[in-house]
Amino acid sequence: VIVSGKRAQDISNAVFPKAGYFLAALIVMGGLAFNIGNVGGAGLGLNSIFGIAPEMGAVISGIIAILIFLRKEAGLLMDRFAQLMGFIMVALTFYIMFKTEPPVAEAAYHSFIPEQI
């Protein structure tokens, strides 16, 4: 594809007539399925955090995405948003780690000296 300078569907059409259209359709369906998973995951995530309906969570996530992409500096905004979400995720992980008080010393001990082999 890179060497020829042509698009993949044009190369496919040259090798097998109409195959490029089939290839393009497969790519579109794959992208659609991938993004349905993203939207569904965002909706379920907001459902588990805030207890709202997954459909409403998907709508809220979609609105946030639209607002981000309407800005001229969308790339910078996405970077900052991802950094913020990453920081929140790490902070929540540490909070849960200290709040639940797992037996860290015992787990470390049994990692090297198990009770059963």
Read off the pLDDT of residues 40-75 as tens digits, 9 standing for 90 and up. Answer: 999 999 999 999 999 999 999 999 889 888 988 888
The whole-angstrom separation of Cα 69 and Cα 90 is 26
Q: Quick one: 63 and 101 in the same domain? A: no
Q: Quick one: 91 and 78 in the same domain? A: yes
What average pLDDT is seen over the chain?
91
Q: Quick one: 16 and 53 in the same domain? A: yes
User: 97 is in which domain, residue-wise?
Assistant: 74-117
pLDDT of residue 116: 86
Residue 18's pLDDT band, with cuts at 50, 70 and 90, is confident
Q: Give the chain's domain count.
A: 2
Q: Quick one: 65 and 14 in the same domain? A: yes
Q: Quick one: 16 and 60 in the same domain? A: yes
pTM of the entire predicted model:
0.56
Considering 70, 87, 106, which residue would you say is the last residue of a domain?
70
Q: Quick one: 99 and 114 in the same domain? A: yes
The whole-angstrom separation of Cα 58 and Cα 47 is 9
